[in-house]
Amino acid sequence: MKQFFDKDFWKNTVGCTVGTLIGILLTFGTSSYLENRNKTEMARKTVMLTLHNLDASTRNMQTLLDELQQYDTLFTRAASLMPDRLGQMGSDSLQMFVNAFGSRRLLMTDHTTSSIFSNSFEVWQCLDDEKVIGRIGNCYSVLDVCRKEYLRMEELRQKAYQAYWHECPPMDYPDAEKAAKALLERYDVRYVLSIHSNVIQMLKHTHGIVCQLNERNKQVLHITQEELDEVGKLLEQNSYNIKSDDMQIPENNLNENEVNE
């Protein structure tokens, strides 16, 4: 009589079952591993894009600071020669002063990268150092404060220049000295000049803070500048190359030929 308990049958069944279970575990384990690895890789790419964006922002801010410092030197020189020694600057420098005070600059800000980082919870989970998140957030907060302070000063300067223009356009004065003197005699203009240097110093200080925080994140995450530069090259292939001069809006400024006509 055939035995009810077939050892070979159960041996094969158990072997198949165990093999199937192992296969399932390996499949899910591999999928989970790949998913986690993909999340980690995506997190690193997002962080690299963020750090590159901060690099670009600090470079743009440095360019702006250099320009503001040049203006400030010109503004300070003109104000120091009021009211009777403006002629010492010479006609060309006085034209530069009036034109610089009336110049306008478009300040373009890209919030895309900061938005991607702040809205990517998976990125935060994959970062080993939680302080990185805080430093990145602080960088964007400080840059936003700088932008608002700069725009506040620019608004005051533009209002003062427009009021000056509406009273008498600079090219309607007999010479550059009289045009510059009329500008410097205005209280709203003198107020802008009085805060200009202080705003620049504040921007320099905060710019330094952002640079330090961003460099610290690079060190902690072991991200080299070469890696960030490569990210930048990829982005530049699909972007417009906007020069500093392209951001200047032309004004009907003082011109010596117009003055002498």
Listed by start position, the domains of the chain span 61-81+90-101+109-260
pLDDT band at 10 (very low <50, low <70, confident <90, very high): very low
In percent, how much of the chain has pLDDT > 70? 66
What is the pLDDT at residue 1?
Answer: 46
Radius of gyration of the chain (CA): 31
pLDDT at 225 over 70: yes
Q: Give, to the nearest 10 degrees, the angle between helix 91-102 and helix 7-80.
A: 140
* Contacts of residue 145, Cβ cutoff 8 Å, sequence gap at least 6: 206
pLDDT at 128 over 50: yes
Q: Which of 142, 126, 165 is nearest to 58 (CA)?
A: 142
pLDDT band at 139 (very low <50, low <70, confident <90, very high): very high
What is the pTM for the complete model shown?
0.73
Place of tokens 């009289």: 178
Q: Which of 156, 119, 151 is nearest to 137 (CA)?
A: 119
What average pLDDT score do residues 137-164 get? Answer: 93
pLDDT at 96 over 80: yes
